[in-house]
């Protein structure tokens, strides 16, 4: 079986920068107003769509303005708020436990440190990176299904590459100040330009208006 030919750093950079040009104003489509609500929204978005999360966020934000409000809420009450989204039972439990820890250990503030963030219930590497990037402007590339699929379709990484390998390669290809924007542009490209159903040559979807 022939070895898979991957793009050079220069070729990969060209693809990613074209995607950036297609979505010059790329940013998260999740609804949030504070770093606390950003953390809640990203936690909720696992294995469900941003659209579904955005349906529940306005009332969630109104009823739980601060971590203290969420920490004091009963789990069945939180479940009612987020029942429309996937895995809402475990997410409600994680949201309450996370809020309790934020109140007890961090005075209601969101840690600006990945090692501390991933210790919070329901918060993994991807969630932590999105919070650090969007909440604090700390350069990061979070690898979700869109980012992984696009990286593989364009042969920026091997087809069997794991999320950490994809992240490392993308960070090698781009300067740090492009990481956050590229992450969001890739998500929008995967959501609206080259969806999982689109099977043509990926370069046919690289069209700058």
How far apart are the C-alpha atoms of 73 and 123, rounded to whole Å?
20
Instruction: Work out the angle between the directed axes of helices 145-153 and 179-188 (0-180°, nearest 10).
Output: 90
Give the other-Cβ count within 10 Å of 185's Cβ.
Answer: 25
**168 annotated active-site:** no
How far apart are the C-alpha atoms of 156 and 179, rounded to whole Å?
15
**126 annotated active-site:** yes
* In contact, 63 and 69? CB cutoff 8 Å: yes
* In contact, 194 and 202? CB cutoff 8 Å: yes
Pick the catalytic residue from 14, 27, 35, 144: 144
Pick the catalytic residue from 50, 91, 96, 126: 126
Q: Which residues contact 95 (CB under 8 A, 6 or more apart)?
A: 40, 43, 44, 70, 78, 82, 122
Which residues belong to the active site? Answer: 126, 144
């Amino acid at each position: 079986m022939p070895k898979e030919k991957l793009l050079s750093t220069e070729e990969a950079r060209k693809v990613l920068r074209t995607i950036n040009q297609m979505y010059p104003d790329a940013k998260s489509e999740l609804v949030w107003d504070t770093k606390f609500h950003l953390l809640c929204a990203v936690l909720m978005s696992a294995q469900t769509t941003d659209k579904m999360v955005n349906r529940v966020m306005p009332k969630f934000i109104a009823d739980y303005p601060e971590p203290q409000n969420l920490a004091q809420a009963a789990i069945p009450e939180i479940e009612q708020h987020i029942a429309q989204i996937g895995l809402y039972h475990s997410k409600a439990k994680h949201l309450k436990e996370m809020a309790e820890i934020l109140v007890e250990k961090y005075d209601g503030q969101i840690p600006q440190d990945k090692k501390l963030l991933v210790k919070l219930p329901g918060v993994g590497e991807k969630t932590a990176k999105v919070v650090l990037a969007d909440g604090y402007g700390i350069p990061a590339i979070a690898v979700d299904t869109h980012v992984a699929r696009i990286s593989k379709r364009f042969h920026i990484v091997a087809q069997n590459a794991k999320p950490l390998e994809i992240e490392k390669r993308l960070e090698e290809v781009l300067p740090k100040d492009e990481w956050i924007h590229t992450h969001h542009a890739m998500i929008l490209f995967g959501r609206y330009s080259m969806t999982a159903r689109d099977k043509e040559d990926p370069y046919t979807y690289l069209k700058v208006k």
